[in-house]
Structure 1
Amino acid sequence: MADITVAEPFPIFAVANKYILYDINTVTYIRRVHHICGVLIGNIPQAAQQNVFSGIPLELIPEEARLLVERGSAYIVDDVASHRRGLTDLSAAERIAFVSVLEKQGLEAALAQKRKADKKREKHFEKAGGKARKRGPDREDTELESASASYAVSRAASVVPNDSDVQPLCITPTTSYPPLSAPKPTTALLPPASPSYDLFAHLHSKDYFLSPGLRFGCQYLAYPGDPLRFHSHFLANGVAWDQEISLLNIVAGGRLGTGVKKGYLVGGKDDSRDEVRVFCFEWAAM
C-alpha cells in the first residue's frame, strides 16, 4: 500500500483551546513525515473509560501545533466559526451535493455490510454441507435430505435481498470537507509558546519523537524513534536558563529516571548564545 500524501499546509482545528485533527490521512502523515504523534482521544460512548483502542480525533499539545505552524506545514483554524460559516454559505446546489455524497457513502457501506453477511452465510452452508458428506447418506433418507436441501437453498436464495433493495446506512462524516470547501490558510492564529517550547523544538530537531510525560512526572517523554517501536530514553523538563532548580528535584528526577531505565533531562535556551543546552542526570549512588 502506497503512503498517502497530504497537501501542505493543512488545517489544525482549534476547539476550546485544544488543537484537533479529524482526518485520519493527516494523522498518519504527520506521524510518518513530521514525527508528530499527538494523542488519540476518540472513545466509544458506551465505554468512556477505555483508552487502549482510542481513535480519531487526534489532539495535539500546543508545542506540536506551534511547531507545525512555524514550519509552514499547517495553519490554525477556529473550528466552530469555520464550520458555521461553511454551512451557512452553502448554496442549494451544494446542499444537494452534500446530501448525495452522504447517501452514496451510506449505500457503499450498506453494500459492504451485505457482502460480508453473504460470505458468512455461504461459509455456514459449506460447513454444514461438509459435515453432512462426512457422515455419509442414509439409504432410507437420501431422497428426503436431497429434497430438503434443495428447498433450503432455494429459500435462502429468495431471502437474500438484491443490491437494489439495500437501504443506505446513515453516515456521520469525520471531516467537513469535502464536500465543504477547505478553510483558507491564515497566519493570524498561533498556539502560545510555553516556557518549555525551546526544549521541545530542540529535541524534535534531533529527530526525537516526543509525547506528554505526565505518567512519569515530567513534561515530555523523548523516544529515539516511533513510540510503537522504541521505549523512551529521556524524561525531559524544560526550564528557563536563569531559573533556580531545587537540588531535591534533581535527585528525585535522577532516581526516578534511573529506576525506569531512562535519563532525567533538563534543558533551556541560553539567550546569550542563542542556543538550547541540555543536561542529563542519572542516579549512581549505591
Structure 2
Amino acid sequence: MLRSSIRSLHARSNQSKAVEMTSIAVPEPFLISRVANRHLIFDINTITYIRREHHICGVLIGNIPQASQQNIFNGVPLELMPEEARMLVEKGHAYLVDDVASHLQALKFTDKQDKLAYKQGLDQEGRAAAVAQLQDMASKKAKHFEKVARSNPRAGSLSPSTPSSLFPNTPSSQPVQPMLITPTTSSTLIKASPPSPALPLPIVPSSYPLFTHLHSQGYFLSPGLRFGCQYVAYPGDPLRFHSHFLAVGAEWEEEIDLLDIVGGGRLGTGVKKGYLLGGAERKVDGSDDDGEVRTFCFEWAAM
C-alpha cells in the first residue's frame, strides 16, 4: 500500500514537471485590451501565464460555438477586474491598449508585405483544412468497405475493387480547393511594443489596498458577488482549493453598520468561510499615500 502511494506521488511529480516544461513563456509586458472600459485578454497563452505566474484568474466571458449550452462553459476573452489590470500595469507586467483605436491604426498603416503575408497564412490554413477533410472522408469510406467485406466475405471476394484500389496512396494531381477561413483574432495586426503615450490607469474602488495586500500574501482573488462581498480569497488556485475568506474593503475613517458585520459574519460561517474586513491605515503626517493594510476576520460562534 505504501509503495503504491509513493509511486503515485512520483508519477504526479513527474506529470507536474512535464506540464511546467511544456508551459509557454509569455514576454512581458503583455497586452491588455481596453474595450468600453472593460479590460480583456484575448491570447490563451497569456491567460494561462498570468494564472500560473501572477495568480490572476479573471473571468472568461466568451462563448464556445461548439458547446451545446452557452451558459455552462465560457471561453476567451478573459475579463479582468480593474484592480487586477491596474496591479499588473503598476508592476510592469502589462500595458493597456485602446482596442478600437489600435486596430484602426494597424489596419490603416499596415504595409503591403504584412497584408500579403496575412493573406498567404489564411490560404495555407484553408488548404490544410481541406486536405484534412478529404483524408478524413477517404478514411471513413475505407473503413465502411472493410466493414462490409468482413460482414459478407463472399461479396468481398467477388468485388472487383478493394479499398486500396479505390483510394490509392499516390496523391491526386488535381489541385485542392482551399476552404474559406474566417479569422478569429486580429492580435497579429497590433505591434508588440507598448504604445506611447500610455493609457491612464484603471479607476479602482477604495478596496484596492486590500486587494493588493491579499494578493501579496499569495491569495487568488475572484469577484465575490455571489457571496455578497467584494472578493473571494483562495489560498491557492481555485481549481484545487476552496476559498477561505469573504473579503470586504473599507476606508480607514469609514463608519460601518454593525448589522453589516453581523450579517457578514453569519453568512461567512454559514458557507464555511471567514468574513474578512480590511483597509489601509492613514498615515499620521496626513499624506495621501496609503499606509499599512490591517485586516480583521469575523466568525459567528453559533447559528
TM-score (norm. length: structure 1): 0.85
2:84 matches 1:39? no
2:280 matches 1:269? yes
Say if 2:130 and 2:176, in contact at 8 Å, map to a contact too: no
Alpha-carbon displacement from aligned partner over 1:27-73 (angstroms, at most 9, x marks no partner) = 11000000100100111469897332100011101000001001100
Q: Determine the C-alpha separation between the residues in 1 that align with 2:65 and 2:239.
A: 26
Say if 1:23 and 1:175, in contact at 8 Å, map to a contact too: no
Partner-residue secondary structure (3-state), 1:150? coil
Q: Determine the C-alpha separation between the residues in 2 that align with 1:79 and 1:126.
A: 54
Partner-residue secondary structure (3-state), 2:60? strand
Compute the RMSD of aligned alpha carbons.
2.8
Match of residue 122 from structure 2: 102
What is the total number of aligned residue pairs between the two structures? 275
Equivalent position amino acid for 1:285 in 2: A
Partner-residue secondary structure (3-state), 1:267? strand
Equivalent position amino acid for 2:295 in 1: V
Pairs within 5 Å for 1:182-261? 182=192, 184-186=194-196, 187-261=198-272
Partner-residue secondary structure (3-state), 1:108? helix
Q: Determine the C-alpha separation between the residues in 2 that align with 1:275 and 1:231.
A: 27
Alpha-carbon displacement from aligned partner over 1:82-141 (angstroms, at most 9, x marks no partner) = 000000001222221221122223333444444455555555555555x52xx8x5xxxx
Say if 1:196 and 1:237, in contact at 8 Å, map to a contact too: yes
Match of residue 302 from structure 2: 285
Say if 2:32 and 2:97, in contact at 8 Å, map to a contact too: yes
Note closer, same or farther for the CA distance 1:112–1:48 as it changes in structure 2 (3 Å cut): closer
Q: Determine the C-alpha separation between the residues in 1 that align with 2:300 and 2:140.
A: 59
Equivalent position amino acid for 2:194 in 1: K
Match of residue 70 from structure 2: 50
Pairs within 5 Å for 1:1-80? 2-44=22-64, 50-80=70-100
Note closer, same or farther for the CA distance 1:145–1:107 as it changes in structure 2 (3 Å cut): closer
Equivalent position amino acid for 1:57 in 2: P
Equivalent position amino acid for 1:279 in 2: F
Alpha-carbon displacement from aligned partner over 1:229-255 (angstroms, at most 9, x marks no partner) = 111111111110111111111111111
Say if 2:278 and 2:293, in contact at 8 Å, map to a contact too: yes
Gaps of 5+ in 2: 1-18, 285-290
Gaps of 5+ in 1: none
Say if 2:224 and 2:230, in contact at 8 Å, map to a contact too: yes
2:165 matches 1:145? no
Match of residue 173 from structure 1: 184
Partner-residue secondary structure (3-state), 1:268? strand
Q: Determine the C-alpha separation between the residues in 1 that align with 2:101 and 2:181.
A: 26
TM-score (norm. length: structure 2): 0.81
